[in-house]
Chains A and B, each alone.
Chain A
Amino acid sequence: MSVTTTERASAPGAGRLSAALSDGWVLTKRNLLTYIRKPDLLVFSTIQPVMFVLLFVYVFGGAVKGALPATIPYVDFLMPGIFVQTAIFSALQTGVGLAEDLQKGLIDRFKSLPMARSAVLAGRTAADTVAILFQVLLMLAVAWLVGFRFHEGVMEALLAFAGAMSVGYAFTWVAAFTGLSLKSVEAVQAASFTIVFPFVFASSAFVPAETFPSWLQTWANINPVTIWVDTFRVLTLGELYTESSFFPDVPGLGTLLWQSIAWFLGILAVAVPLSIRVYRRT
């Protein structure tokens, strides 16, 4: 073969980081294109949380109302939980996507290319986070239709959603680890739901944890989902939530923020290295 020098966009060495970023971007774009070409994937994974909203607001709403102060409509209490739940559930798609790539041999191809080793995981989690944003915004539209309103300012609302998005991002890495470890799409789907179930449901996401038996309250209070959802609530409900005698255990915003960030970083600190390790080995 006469051609021995490949024309490269960036010189080796000079741009290791820029090459890694470029590779990450190439794969992010590829994964985003998949979402655009397969819109049914996003649509159907959005229908489920919409059903949850309708179920909670209209089926359980009446019964839960008694456990809430009269100043807080149930939908305003519920939606922070739904936003966090949506972010976590839609992050699970990362595991399914990686298992599919493994099964199709795409991961083998990527590993045989002279690309950055980090790009497959970085590109996947980045694209899936964009998908999460799309779903969360769609949920916001639904929430608005069923009467959800912000009681605090715009900055607080933006911070609340930034929080939900970072939860989603952290869980894309948990899902990446599950997907690469289990390797089969079906197993990943079943396992990841089981893993997140005790976090999402045994929390204050849908009903006040004060109604739980005391052993479950103990868990709910240390459960990061409770902390994230409470942070979201404080940012959208303000004093209605913190000052209510119904919720004596809710810490102040400062405490909630640092706990939220600590959980976010803690999950990343465990899930990222584990995912990279299992990626290198598969």
Chain B
Amino acid sequence: MAEPMILAEGLRKSFGNVHALDGVDLDVQPSTVLGLLGPNGAGKTTVVRILTTLLHPDAGHATVAGHDVVRHAEELRHVIGLAGQYAAIDENLTGLENLEMVGRLYHLTRAEARRRGAEVLERFELAHAADRTAKTYSGGMRRRLDLGASLVGRPKVLFLDEPTTGLDPRSRLELWDVIRELVRDGTTLLLTTQYLEEADRLADDIAVIDGGRVIARGTADELKARVGGEVLALRVSDRSRVPAAAGAVLGLGPGGGKVDNNTGELTIPVGTDGPRVLTEAIRRLDAEGIELADISLRRPTLDDVFLSLTGHAAEEVSAGDGEGDGDRGRRSRRRRKEGAA
């Protein structure tokens, strides 16, 4: 196996009493995409900030393209690109001026900065808006410009921190296409996301992070396999009958299941025993007189994986912004966990 393009060992970082990172290990092979998947407050942004030299770790060490994040920070910055959670562009500059500025700060000549700026605008379908100030751009265009800015230096390693958060579904799909194309060129990419679908679509490898630790690692398929075969999902029409339904069917699978009291949904990993469990579940619920709004047998999604790994759903955590609220995120998660128990 080649030398990893990103290597992190035992990264720890605390902010006051909050342990944002509690020993994170990562390795990313050249020209692959690692999806760092976790809820708000899990520590994703802290990992990115350490790997891009914005923060020093309290303990542990990390290298990107062979450069140590603390000792060789300056060399490291020459080979990375970063697009953070917010579109970090200057609204009062035009699209082209934004990219030229970034190019000049990579110490490109004026002509080269301009040429690359134009090239990036072309590639991200922003050429028509090159000379308009960025404040006239839509949300999706801003994100594309922001992503473009991270590519002006032709980085070997690209860091995208929640690149599609806050985008409408159409812009999200467009941005996914752009990202997929980047990766075809051989850029190594570390992508953080709280959307399981996004990690599934874009990443070769997924690291699930929760409470400042990597709790699982593998391809999307490997992670899904950990849930074990298929999943039986059913929704009870009358919420008050959820406990009765749970009592009737949870024991049917090999490993229990999950109950969501809010939606009336029960999910039960069933291994390869799907059809039998499905028939048995319907028979029992019918005998109890419990009506169903929906029942299906499906392949597990990353949602199921996340649920089985952490005991809480990924996107259930407050959709507030930012990892700065690590403390709040964690606390609210704990509360929900207790509520579900």
Binding site for B on A (CB under 8 A): 1-4, 6-10, 19, 22-23, 26-27, 30, 33-34, 37-38, 103-106, 108-115, 119
Contacts and interface: CB of A to CB of B under 8 A. Distances in A.
B82 A30 contact: no
A27 B93 CA distance: 12
Interface string B174-187: 00000000000111
Contact of A26 (B78, B85, B105, B149): B105
Chain B binding surface, main DSSP class: loop
Given A105-B85, A108-B82, A113 B102 contact: yes
A104 to B, nearest CB: 6
Given A1-B186, A109-B88, A111-B54, A6 B153 contact: yes
B133 A37 contact: yes
Contacts of B97: 30, 33
Q: Which of A3, A34, A113 has the most CB of B within 10 A?
A: A113
Contacts of A104: 86-89
Contact of A105 (B86, B106, B108, B153): B86
B164 to A, nearest CB: 15
Interface of B: 49, 52-54, 74, 77-78, 80-82, 84-90, 92-93, 97, 101-102, 104-110, 112, 133, 149, 153-154, 156, 185-187
Contact of A30 (B78, B101, B107, B110): B101
19 contacts: A1-B154, A1-B186, A6-B108, A6-B154, A7-B108, A7-B109, A8-B106, A9-B107, A9-B109, A10-B107, A22-B104, A30-B97, A33-B93, A104-B87, A105-B88, A108-B82, A110-B105, A114-B153, A115-B106
A106 B107 CA distance: 18
Given A1-B187, A8-B108, A111 B90 contact: no
B84 to A, nearest CB: 5
Given A1-B187, A105-B86, A105-B87, A114 B74 contact: yes
Contact of A112 (B53, B104, B107, B154): B53
Nearest to A29: B101
A243 to B, nearest CB: 50
Nearest to A37: B92
A110 B150 CA distance: 11
Contacts of B53: 111-112
Given A104-B86, A105-B86, A112 B105 contact: no
Given A6-B108, A108-B54, A114-B77, 16 more contacts: A8-B107, A8-B108, A9-B110, A10-B107, A37-B92, A37-B133, A103-B86, A104-B87, A105-B86, A108-B88, A109-B102, A112-B52, A112-B77, A112-B80, A112-B82, A113-B102
B105 A3 contact: no
A9 B80 CA distance: 19
Given A1-B156, A37-B133, A114-B74, A109 B187 contact: no
A113 B156 contact: no
Contacts of B149: 109
Contact of A106 (B80, B90, B104, B133): B90
The 10 closest A-B pairs by CB, nearest first: A105-B88, A105-B86, A114-B77, A109-B88, A112-B82, A115-B105, A37-B92, A34-B92, A8-B107, A114-B78
A19 B104 CA distance: 10
A213 B331 CA distance: 55
Contact of B106 (A1, A103, A106, A113): A113
B76 to A, nearest CB: 9
